[in-house]
Amino acid sequence: MTIKQIAFIVLFAILGLATPANAFNLQHLEILRQTKQCRGCDLSDANLSQLDLRDADLRNAYLAGANLQGANLSGARLVRADLREVNLSQAIIVGADLKQAHLANANLSGADMRLSLLNFANLLGADLSYADLSGTVLIGTILRDANVVGVDLSRSFLRRTTMPDGKIRSSDN
């Protein structure tokens, strides 16, 4: 190997271009898989699709950009979790606690979110097309610029919720 080739390899290694790096913490992923407990962990950009995460404790977790397509998060605690740009399409999120969760630009199309708590959650620009939000509680929730085509909000409780058109609505409006 020439000095020029070695210098090139060292440069790419320093810049992180030699091998793709995972954004998430592998230890956190293993802890989640074994215990379903991972408060405040970093699982950003992780592939968690189809995982059974029922009743998982992911409070304050960083999951931005993660793939949770088809995952089962029923009963999960995702309070103050960072779920920006996460893929939760076709996920089962029944009875989950998503209070103060940050779901801006998340893909929740076709998700089953029945009976979940979305108090003060940020769903700015989220895709909720054909999601089932029946029986959910949305207090102070932001849905501005969200895609709500075909969303089921029957039996849901809305209070000071900002809808896609920017208007604030409550169930009694």
Q: Give the residue ranges of the chain where pLDDT is below 70.
A: 1-22, 173
Residue 47 lies in a domain: yes
Residue 41 lies in a domain: yes
Q: pLDDT digit string (tens) for 106-133? A: 999 999 999 999 999 999 999 999 999 9
Q: Return the pLDDT at 24.
A: 84
Rounded Cα distance, 52 and 69, in Å: 11
CATH number of the domain encompassing residue 103: 2.160.20.80
Residue 16 lies in a domain: no
Residue 50 lies in a domain: yes
Q: Return the pLDDT at 4.
A: 53
Distances (CA, A) of 56 to 7, 37, 61, 73, 108: 46, 6, 11, 7, 19
Q: Return the pLDDT at 166.
A: 86
Locate 151 and state its tokens: 């969303």
Residue 8 lies in a domain: no
> Which amino acid belongs to residue 155?
R
Residue 166 lies in a domain: yes
Distances (CA, A) of 129 to 2, 31, 125, 151, 155: 56, 32, 11, 6, 18
* Domain containing residue 51: 24-173
Q: What is the pTM of this model?
A: 0.84
Rounded Cα distance, 55 and 94, in Å: 10
Q: Return the pLDDT at 171.
A: 83
How far, in whole angstroms, is CA 76 from its chain's centroid? 12
Q: Number of structural domains, the chain?
A: 1
Residue 114 lies in a domain: yes
CA angle 122, 21, 101 (to 5 degrees): 10
Residue 162 lies in a domain: yes
